[in-house]
Amino acid sequence: MNIYQQIASNKRKTFFLIFGFLIFTIIFGYIISLFFDLGLIGLGIFLIIFGVVTYISYYNSDKVALALSHAKPAKKEHYPQLYSIVENLSIGLGQPMPKVYVIQDPGMNAFATGRDPQHSAVAATTGILQALNKQELEGVMAHELSHIRNYDIRVMSMVTILAGSIAIVSDFFLRSLIFSGGDNDRKSNGLMIIIAIAAAILAPLAATLIKLSVSRNREYLADASGALLTRYPDGLASALEKISKQPNLKNASHATAHLFIQNPFSSKKARNFFTNLYSTHPPAEERIKRLRAM
C-alpha cells in the first residue's frame, strides 16, 4: 500500500467509525430516555447538554492540554532548530505556523493541539530534542503538523466528549436505578429494565473502544501524511524506534495521552490482542513497518 492509498484508507475508516459512534450515542440516549418515559424530549435534553459541553471543550482543549503537560513557550533563540523545522514544514503545507512549546522532561515525546490550523500549537520534550537528529525531528514535527492539517485534534475532541458524555449518563442512570428502589411504574417492564441496564453497563465500554480505535486510525493517517510531507518515511520510522524505547513522561495525564506521538504510559511488556485493543496508539512496530514499506 503506497502513501496515498494509506491516507485514503485511514480517512474512510475514521469516517465510518465516527458516524457509527454518533448513531450509537443517539440510540443509547434514546434507550435511557425511554426508560424514564421522556421519549424524544429526553433525547433532546441529552443532545443539548452534549452540545454545550462540546462547545466549551472545543474552545479550551488546547489550553487544557498544554497546562496538563506543563508545556512552556519555546523561545526561538533557545530552540532554533525546532523553530526552523516547524516553520519550514508549515510553509510546505501552506498553513500558519503553530505556536511552539517545550516540555522539560527527559522522556521522548511530542504532541499537537488546537481546534484548527489558525489556533494550534506543537510541543516537544527536551528529551526528544536531545536524542533525535534533524531528519528524525522533521519526521516527528511533520507527523504533528499533519494532525493539525487533518483536523485530528478536533475529531478526537468530539469523540472524547461523546465517550465522556455516555459514561456520565450511564453512571447517572445506574445510580438513579439503585436509589429509586425499582418501585416506579415505568420500571415494571422487565425487558425494558434489562435492555436499559445492559446499555448503561456496555455503552461506556463500547464508547471507549470506539474512541481508541479512532485514535489509532488518526495516528496511522498522520504517519502517512507526515511521510508525504517530508518525502522521507525513514526519518519518522527511525524516530519512532527511539521514542518507543523511552516515551514515558513525568507529568503525563491520561486525559491527554491520545495526543502524543507515542503513548506516554507505554509499557515494555509484551503486547497482545487485548493490550492493543485498549491502547491509544497502534504498536510502534506496526507503524515502523508501514512507514518503511512506503
The pLDDT tens digits for 54-74 are 777 777 778 888 988 899 999
- Nearest-5° Cα angle at 83, 153 to 287: 50
SS3 of residue 260 by DSSP:
strand
Q: Does 144 qualify as catalytic in the annotation?
A: yes
For residues 106, 114, 60 and 210, what is the CA-based torsion angle, rounded to 10 degrees? Answer: -90
Looking at the chain, the whole-number percentage of residues with pLDDT higher than 90 is 32
Range with the lowest mean pLDDT among 120-129, 163-172, 225-234, 236-245?
163-172
43 contacts 33 by C-beta, under 8 angstroms? yes
**99 phi/psi in degrees, rounded to 5:** -70, 145
Q: What is the 3-state secondary structure (H, E, C) of 83-109?
A: HHHHHHHHHHHCCCCCEEEEECCCCCC
**Which of the following is catalytic: 77, 87, 136, 144?**
144
134-149 and 152-180 helices, crossing angle to 10°: 60
For residue 3 the three cell numbers come to 502513501
Q: How many CB atoms lie within 10 A of CB 254?
A: 10
Secondary structure of residue 272 in the 3-state scheme:
coil
**What's the rounded Cα separation, in Å, for the pair 194 and 208?**
22
Per-residue pLDDT tens digits for 267-293: 555 455 545 555 778 889 999 999 999
pLDDT in tens, 197-213: 777 777 777 777 766 77
Q: Is the per-residue pLDDT at 121 higher than 80?
A: yes
Cβ–Cβ < 8 Å for 102, 83: no
Strand, helix or coil at 247?
coil
